[in-house]
Amino acid sequence: MIGIVTTDLSAFPFGDEDLPHLFEALDAAGLEARALHWRDDDIDWGAYDLAVLRSPWDYPFQVEDFLAWTRRVAGVTTLANPAPVVAWNSDKRYLAELAANGVATVPTRYATNPAELGTALVAARAGSPSGELVVKPSVSAGSDLTGRFGVDDPAASVLVERIWAAGKVAMVQPYLPSVGRRGELAVMHIDGVYSHAVRKGPILDSDGRLLGGSYREDIEAAVPSERERAAADDVLARLPGWVTEAGPLLYARIDLVEADDGSLALLELELIEPSLFFPAVPAAAGRLAAAIASRV
């Protein structure tokens, strides 16, 4: 029996659109699976052969509880991706570690106090080709507490104050003009192997709001170039050694953007609960189902 880990999706406008495709693929593979809420204390996780994290999208609001839950579940069954990987990837300060390992990342500064924020804003003013910056928490999902502002817009500091009030670390990044033109390229690997890719349209408006007033993104299937495939492969090749010492990750999503000089940079690495965009590439659900079957 496979436990597909989710949450109360009624709080999310469009639910998890990957799930119907995944359940259909699991059924075709002869695997029985159930959608399970991670906060349901009545579930006997030890009765499941594998627990697959798919859409526990409320975890950033209770991250310590969630990480404790992953450790408990990993003690009674196999959790994919593994609990230590989830803990590492749950905080976007992993970008600093990847940058130190030679991964080209979007320049990022972190701020926990006014002095650090001042340094971050100075760096953003000097390094933003667009004259704009992006503010977000280091622990977040679904663009929560995320905004795009002019480098001198005081609203950016107001958002940082809200992030701090929520007990989180703030991130400041330059806004790259290519995101508005071409969006992001999301490259999916399943079981350590390239699976598929999509291009995601821009979601942040220039006044700090979400485009369209929702978390919905424009998605279309994409065929990455050899250069884009190589950039995604390089990100995974430069992961800390312990991340894959037990074998390839069940899934990974590498979000790439184009820097002002045309080079590719990592925006985010999603190893916890990424949308895998099965509605855009339905065949990919079968690949995930096969990878799940190989672990049972």
Active site residues: 216, 253, 270
Cα 156 off chain centre by:
22
Tokens matching residue 93: 């300060």
Give the phi and the psi of residue 105 in degrees, each rounded to 5. Answer: -120, 160
Helix, strand or coil, per DSSP, at residue 22 = helix
What separation, in Å, do the N-terminal and C-terminal C-alpha atoms of the chain show? 9
C-alpha 21: how far from its chain's center?
Answer: 20
Bridge partners (DSSP) of residue 171 are 110, 136
Alpha carbon distance 171, 146 (integer Å): 9
Beta strands in the chain (DSSP E): 2-6, 33-37, 50-53, 78-80, 109-111, 132-137, 147-150, 170-174, 184-190, 193-200, 219-222, 251-258, 264-270
